[in-house]
Structure formats: structure tokens, C-alpha cells
A and B are shown apart, each in its own frame.
Chain A
Amino acid sequence: MGERVPQHIQNQIIRKFCETNRLEYSLSASEYAMKNSYLMLEEIINEKSSMNGIVFYSLFQLPENKIYRNNIYKNIIKRKKKIFFSVENFKLSSKNDILELEEIWDVKSVLPSCYKGY
């Protein structure tokens, strides 16, 4: 969604989020830089390790495509994993959380068409 924060700052925020929420920080992963690449994300979600969650820097790092995003949520919930978003201080672990999160995405996606000036 056009936002950029340096990777080391993202890592600091994620570490702090884990600390505050008593989550064990075990592995850091960076997505490939190509547009619309979610290869790393898919890899982590489908990994059959003991890892039980993924902490994102922001929820706006999820795919912009709604259908793709929904598939990710479903996959996460099916695998009984959780996803967290540090900047938004948000945890996704149920279908209700998906609705709440999607409301934010919906609003964000129409904002470029709304009045911007001041």
C-alpha cells in the first residue's frame, strides 16, 4: 500500500511487540522485493514446524488482493496458527478477527478516492 519503513526498524518494532505480548521470537523472514511476491509468506504459513504464529510489521503487508488475503486467513486458521500485526497491535485468530481486519482494509482501499486536501 505504498508504505515503507526500513527493515531494521521493522525488526525492532516486531521484537518489541513480541516482548510486550510474551511471544517467543524465533525467526525473522523478509519477503522478496518483487511486486506482489508472497513466496516467503507462503513458505512460512505452510511450514510444518512448531512455530505457532507470524508477527507482521503491519497488516498492510498482506496481499492487496482480497481473495488472496482471505485464502491466507483461512489457511492460517486451518493450521491453528495466529497472525499478529505490530503497528496495529492486532491479533488474528478467529473469523471475527478477520471481519474486523477486513473493515480496516476496506476503508483504507477507498481512501485514495476520498477528499484529501487540507
Chain B
Amino acid sequence: MTSYLDKKDIHLSKNFFKKGYFIQKVSDLKSLKTLRKAVVNSLCETIKVKMKKEKDFDRFLNDIHNTIKIKNLNNTRLNILNSINSSSEFHQKYFEVAKNLLFSLVGNELAMQTRVNLSIQLPGDASSLLPVHSDIWSGDSPFEVVVWIPLVNCYSTKTMYILKPENYKKIHSKFKKYAGKNSSDFYKNIKKNVEWINIKFGEILIFNQSLPHGNIVNSEKETRWSLNCRFKSLYSPYGDKKIGEFFKPITIRAASRIGMNYSLPNLKK
């Protein structure tokens, strides 16, 4: 097989295949801080508190469960989501933060999810859970990856888990045994083999969303804040999430533009 990938790309790809994810320190810290600032500012506006200084962001976000009640959480989350998604700069910075990893693992002509998602997981809150799932099972294309950005340090139950590829492979071939069962039964079976993602603010996670993943009730003393967004190679197969309604092209190259606009000369009179 011919492959002209450079050493860095090969290293990343091997790790991605083996672990199902890759964590990297963000080189463009300025963009990352812009993302966090946008979330914090929108949060302050939503819950009507005084704007915070950057040095206080970490504590403010981690301790937000002392200010927001669970019953108000979804409205707060929706307000912040609408605010960050109305800004094209926010989307661009999101891409910038993950650009190098995406170019290595996905390609350089990309489609990006039109709306960035936000997870807020208050300690003890069972209403914001994502039971074990693979995104492909709910309509995503296996050609997509998720770029997951923590806005605070995430660890233990304050983070997400993912099933290792080697374990998924074993389960995949015996999936029939889950017929008639539910996702909790499935989770119980894979629980011992999942990996809990330990990640700090300043790092990003890119993961294979076809692997089963999810979260459980956050039993730490801090609130989890994380952003996630899907990317895929622009011309790779789409699932139920289509171009235009769910994805937008973000890095169309010159040759593609020429090709898409080319028509053969017409000889008919």
C-alpha cells in the first residue's frame, strides 16, 4: 500500500486506531481562551451576574452548581448555545484549536457541524446524562470525528468514557445477545472495559464516535463544562446528518472549486 503520510501523521493515526481517541495540548491557547470567555460571558448574562475576570473563570465554572439549580440548567444551556452559535468567530476559533489534528486524522477539505454543542454536568444531576451509545447508531456517518473541548479539568465521573476499540471489536461480533435488552444492560457488560478520559483545560480530545461512549452521574464536587463538535471529510459519505442542515463546508480548496464549477464545452447548436 502506498502511503506518503509523514511521521507525525502516522504516529497520530496509529494512536487513534489503537485507543479510539487522541488528546493533545492546544497550541493555539489564545483561541481556546476566546471560546471559554464567550461561554463565561454568555453564562454571566444568562444568570444575571457580574462579568468575571479570566483568572476567576475556572472556579466560576467548576462551582456553578452553587448558583444554578438543576431545573434551570437546560434553559441556561440553551441560552449559551444560542449565543455561541450565533457567532461565526466562535466556530472559526473552534476549528483553529483542532486544525492540526483534523488535518492529520480527517483531511484538509472539511465539513463542520453547524452547531457546536455544550455539556454542563452538575454534581448529582441525572437529567443531563448520555447513556452509552455510538453516534453511528443514531444517524451519524462513521466518517465523522468528534472534537471535544473541556472548559475545566475533567476526570473520574466528571468526564466521559469510551470503549476501547479492541473491546468493541469483541462485542461487535456478539451483538445479537443484546436483542430485547436495554442500554443499561449493555453498559453493565462493557463497564469494566471502558476508559475514562482524563483531560485538562488546555487540552483537546478528538475521538472515534463510532465507539460506544457516554457518561454517568457526576459524583465529583465540581461541575463539568465541555464543548463538542463533529467534523468530517467534505466529500466522504454522510449519514442522516446532511450537508447544509447539519454540516457546513469550511475548507474548500481551489481545485475542488474549479471542478465543481466546470462544465464541458457544448458542441450542440
Contact = CB atoms under 8 A, between A and B. Distances in A.
Interface of A: 58-60, 87-90, 103-104, 106-111, 114-118
B143 A118 contact: yes
B217 interface: no
Interface string B109-149: 00100100000000000000000000000000111000000
Given A89-B114, A103-B252, A111 B244 contact: no
Contacts of B187: none
A110 B248 CA distance: 15
A17 B260 CA distance: 31
Contact of B249 (A58, A59, A89, A103): A103
20 contacts: A60-B244, A87-B244, A88-B114, A88-B244, A88-B245, A103-B252, A104-B243, A104-B244, A104-B248, A106-B261, A107-B234, A107-B249, A107-B252, A109-B260, A110-B259, A111-B238, A114-B236, A115-B235, A118-B141, A118-B143
A107 B237 contact: no
* Top 10 closest pairs, chain A to chain B, by CB: A106-B260, A114-B235, A104-B244, A87-B245, A88-B244, A103-B249, A88-B245, A107-B249, A116-B237, A107-B243
A8 to B, nearest CB: 19
Interface residues of B, number: 20
Contacts of A59: 244
Contacts of B237: 114-118
Contact of B260 (A58, A87, A110, A118): A110
A110 B252 contact: no
